[in-house]
Amino acid sequence: MRVIVVGGGVAGWEAAFAASENAEQVILFCGEPCFPYRRPMLSKLAGSSALPEEGFFLGSAGNLPKNLQLRTTSVVSGIDRRKQCVILSTGEEFAYDKLILAVGASAWTPPFDNRAPGRVIAFREYADLRHLQAHLKEGVSHLLLLGGGVLSLELAQALLPLVEHVSVVENAERLLPRNLSTAGSEFVLRRLDRRDGLSFFFSSQLVSFDGQQAVLSDGTEVPAELMIVSCGMRPRLELAQQAMLPCGRGIKVDCSLRTEDSNLYACGDCAEVQGRVTGLYADAKRSGALAGRNAVTGDEAEKFCFRPGEMRMNALGVKLLSAGSVDGMETALEGDGAENFRKLYCKGERKEGLTLIGDWSGSAALLAGLDR
Ligand SMILES: Cc1cc2nc3c(=O)[nH]c(=O)nc-3n(C[C@H](O)[C@H](O)[C@H](O)COP(=O)(O)OP(=O)(O)OC[C@H]3O[C@@H](n4cnc5c(N)ncnc54)[C@H](O)[C@@H]3O)c2cc1C
């Protein structure tokens, strides 16, 4: 049996490894020019000019199983389901018995009048890191971070020492709106290490950017020579749509990660399971391994579901853990107070969410106690 995996992120990597345990041949096509790597490390490396060290990569050419072939800089541009083959952008065709789509997501950029596309980085891939490092080498004094989520705060932490000023522009009226309650966001804003050179603009939409300044919806002009966009992700659906596979927010798969075509599977950020898409590394990793196993064995016993998200951040003096849904009743936990924010979120009897800022003591037991 030949298994083809498209996409060399963590989901594709895990899928290829798992499939290689039982298939005769596995080919992993990676659009990016480098060996598969740990994507979350990109933001941590943003402030360094050095090339990533070994721990950045998911493995090395020397430790691939003999039946697993990795092809970097290989973009799959089409799927012919009738002939059971994928078509590369070079026109080459590769037949498959089973095909696993692990094409991930792209960074979403809200619409604005972009008059300096070369100075706007939608931060997602290794090439974006290199692009950013090249700009920093030339010298950047004013940087704009579009989006007030975890990624922007991590980038602010990494880049503040290298630039004069960082402006964070957020559409919502508060920081981390996807992960925290209003009280949690307010606490973070108070506790943030408010260094000189760091400004926040809330309830602000970007209207235009020309490489010297950004104009916001209320007319505010923010000096900025470079912009990094981190406003969330959108699953890549083009290949699946072109192959006429059902898609919603992601490529629709059942709980065994199979699409409506029994030879095609999808996993990671591009997959939609029971109406949900992920966006989290651990979920992508788990789903990749399961898709790889199921594609070869045809097994359907193990059911996959995305776990309620868990987010950890340690940036700008704030150590934060947030899990599950934080829109239920907010109850203070022991240790909550001026120095630490420790809350549990309940809906009726169900403990649905948790936020710990500062003091994380007891986090393992608290996480285990959530009704998921
Ligand atoms: C900067 C950053 C920081 C993050 N930090 C965290 C974190 O702290 N915690 C957390 O849980 N999550 C984090 N995430 C999210 C996490 O990285 C993703 O959930 C995870 O990488 C998804 O893995 P994936 O394999 O599904 O997709 P991706 O990582 O998106 O990989 C998909 C790969 O497929 C390739 N590809 C796409 N189309 C094709 C094609 N047609 N042909 C060939 N190749 C193709 C892409 O080039 C890409 O290499 C972060 C993401 C970013 C960008």
For the chain, how long is the longest CA-to-CA vector? 64
Provide the percentage of residues in the chain whose pLDDT is more than 90: 86
Question: What is the pLDDT, as a whole number, of residue 184?
Answer: 96
Tell me the Cα Rg of the chain: 22
**Ligand 1 center to 21 CA (angstroms):** 24
Name the pLDDT band for 330 (thresholds 50, 70, 90): very high
- Determine whether the shortest distance from the Cβ of 30 to ligand 1 is under 6 A: yes
Q: Which of 17, 39, 109, 269 to mutate to test the pocket of ligand 1 (most atoms within 8 A of CB)?
A: 39
Average pLDDT along the chain: 94
By percentage, how much of the chain surpasses pLDDT 70?
100
* pLDDT surpasses 80 at 53: no
**Sheet strands (E) in 258-317:** 264-266, 271-273, 310-315
**What are the residue boundaries of the structural domains of the chain, listed by start?**
2-105+233-297, 113-229, 325-368
CATH for 113-229?
Answer: 3.50.50.60
Going by their DSSP bridges, the two strands 221-223 and 226-229 should be labelled as unpaired
Q: Which has more confidence, 324 or 252?
A: 252
Over residues 219-244, the mean pLDDT reads 97
pLDDT (average), residues 235-241 = 98
Please give the pLDDT value at position 52: 74
Tens-place pLDDT, residues 29-46: 999 999 999 999 998 888
pLDDT for position 38:
96
Measured CA to CA, the distance from residue 39 to residue 30 in angstroms comes to: 14
* Contact call for residues 235 and 241 (beta carbons, < 8 A): no
Q: Tell me the pLDDT tens digit for each residue of 67-118.
A: 999 999 999 999 999 999 999 999 999 999 999 999 999 999 999 999 999 9
pLDDT digits (tens, 9 = 90+) for 68-77: 999 999 999 9
**Ligand 1 contact via 285 beta carbon (within 6 Å):** no
151 lines ligand 1 (CB under 6 A): yes
Query: Is-same-fold flag (2-105+233-297; 113-229)?
Result: yes
| Higher pLDDT, residue 55 or 168 | 168
Question: pLDDT tens-digit profile of 331-364?
Answer: 999 999 999 999 999 999 999 999 999 999 999 9
| pLDDT tens per residue, range 192-201 | 877 779 999 9
Name which residue sits closest to atom 16 of ligand 1, judged by CA: 281
pTM as predicted: 0.93
The set of residues, in sequence order, having a beta carbon less than 8 Å from that of 327 and lying 6+ positions away, is 181, 345, 353
The secondary structure of the chain in percent helix, strand, coil, rounded to multiples of 5, reads: 25, 30, 45
How many angstroms separate the CA atoms of 175 and 177, rounded?
6
Q: For domain 2-105+233-297, is the CATH number 3.50.50.60?
A: yes
Q: Can you tell me the mean pLDDT for 298-311?
A: 81
pLDDT band at 174, cuts 50/70/90? very high
From 230, 281, 287, 313, mutation site for ligand 1 pocket: most ligand atoms within 8 A of C-beta: 281
Can you tell me the distance from the alpha carbon of 271 to that of 281, in angstroms, rounded to the nearest whole number? 13
